[in-house]
Structure 1
Amino acid sequence: MPDIRRLLSPLGETLGEDIDWDEMRGAYGTAFPGDFREFIDQFGGGSIEDQLVVLSPRLDESQPNAVSRFNRPVIVEADRHDGWESPELAQRYPLAKMLIWGDTVGADTLCWFTEDQDPDVWPVAVFSRSSLMWSLHRCGMTGFLARVLTGDLPDSPLSDASLLGWGEARFLHSHDEKALHEAGIDPWEW
């Protein structure tokens, strides 16, 4: 996770979350990737430049900002290949094996494809709302974020490419963002 630590500057007073990762493993039926656990331990769930949200695992998935599983998201129901370029890719990467870890201001969905027993090798899968297509990235969550921020992607998989090549970015924990909103302060204008 060194690249992402170098690229993110925390805002606000809240940093990190105290997560019982063994309890989460039991609740979700799987371990989480090491880089994600380290990110949540250090930064917590929250927003990068009000453009991309990293979700935290929650025991009650109905809680806001919870990492969640899905079988068939509404956003891809209309596409006959579930958003992949071919039926073969749709079969290879079934939606039931996706675990959401984030989303974007452009309504993109950021996931891991969880087929492998080792979560540290799960690729990142992105559903672009603008193209209604999935893309697969053979890197972890923090590697993906670093590639977005440094512009080290051949094409942006995100509908809104404003973070692409941004460089150093601000991170605001969801608790601080909520508190600022409740106080009538735009968290991204201070």
Structure 2
Amino acid sequence: MDDFVGTQMPVRRLTDPAETIGELERAVPGLAALRLPEPCDIEWQVAETGLGVLLPADFKLLCELYPPFVLGDFLGVGGPAPGAEHAWAAGVRESLETVEEWCEEAGLAVPLHPHPAPGGLLPWAGSNRGDYFLWTTDPAGPDAWTVTVASRNSAWWHYTGGAVQFLADLVSGAVEPWALPTVRPHAVAW
């Protein structure tokens, strides 16, 4: 059964990682209070080697500036902790099995596949209801990746901006939360 809902686009795709972080901080006013006193020294090369792909700069900056956090008591966002990059990559790789099952079960008109398939999906966040927030990888490089939402209720949709801009647009209401609850502009560290 094809449960593809559609595609949403930002008014303007942000490409500067600092600008995307600023948009997210504007959308979630309390987020800045969670900012770490010093950026984390994450060994991205270890995480990226473990995944077999480079990661988007906006996501890496978000993970360096903030501890893992939950938006609106719903959406959990976090990357590798310093020293745990290998374990984080292993966890992401393990979740690809679930992504593969979901892709097969979705029966979408245009089939989706998990990473490392060309254009494959790679998870970057999840919800407390079991929804996946995935990158749709792109051969043009990680900063060209877009977002695919796979909701637990089998609705799939795309957003043509990056992950951090997606979070800002989802919370601010610039993006409709198709098949998701409204995400309140509240963040807590986890």
- What is the identity, as a one-letter code, of the residue corresponding to 1:107? G
Give the Cα separation in 2 of the matches to 1:105 and 1:122: 24
Pair 1:172 & 2:188 matched: yes
Code of the aligned partner of 1:94: H
The alpha-carbon distance between structure 1 residues 25 and 78, as it changes in their structure 2 partners (threshold 3 A), is closer
Q: C-alpha distance in 2, partners of 1:77/1:138?
A: 19
Partner of 2:9: none
Aligned-CA RMSD value: 2.7
How far apart, CA to CA, are the structure 2 residues paired with 1:102 and 1:173? 14
| Greater fraction helix | 2
Which of 29, 36, 42 is the aligned partner of 2:65? 42
Residue of structure 2 in register with 1:7 after alignment:
27
> Which TM-score applies when normalising by structure 1?
0.71
Q: Which runs of 5+ in 2 are unaligned?
A: 1-19
Letter of the aligned partner of 1:142 in structure 2? V
Equivalent residue number for residue 177 of structure 1: none
TM-score for the superposition, normalised by structure 2: 0.71
Question: In structure 2, what is the Cα distance between the partners aligned to 1:173 and 1:33?
Answer: 22
CA distance in 1, matches of 2:66, 2:168: 15
Change (3 A) 1:18 1:144: same
Separation in 2, partners of 1:14, 1:147: 20
Distance in 2, Cα, partners of 1:156 & 1:80: 19
Change (3 A) 1:34 1:80: closer
Q: Which residue is 1:157 aligned to?
A: 178
Distance 2:103 2:161 in 1: 27
Code of the residue aligned with 2:178 in structure 1: it is P
Offset from partner CA, 1:118-154 (integer Å, 9 cap, x none): 1001010110112x0321110001111011111112x
For the pair 1:79 / 2:79, whether they are aligned, the reply is no
2:121 paired residue number: 98
Shift in CA distance, 129/80, structure 1 to aligned 2, threshold 3 Å: closer
Structure 1 stretches of 4+ with a deviation exceeding 6 A read 11-14
Q: Which runs of 5+ in 1 are unaligned?
A: 175-190
Paired residues of 2:68 and 2:79 also in contact (CA < 8 A): yes
Report the CA distance between 1:52 and its aligned residue: 0.5
SS at match of 2:87: coil
C-alpha distance in structure 2 between counterparts of 1:121 and 1:135, whole Å:
17
Count of residues in correspondence between the two structures: 158
Higher mean alpha-carbon deviation, 70-79 vs 143-152, is at 70-79
Is the radius of gyration larger for structure 1 or structure 2? 1
Q: Tell whether the 8 Å contact from 2:145 to 2:162 is kept in structure 1 after alignment.
A: yes
Distance 2:114 2:173 in 1: 27
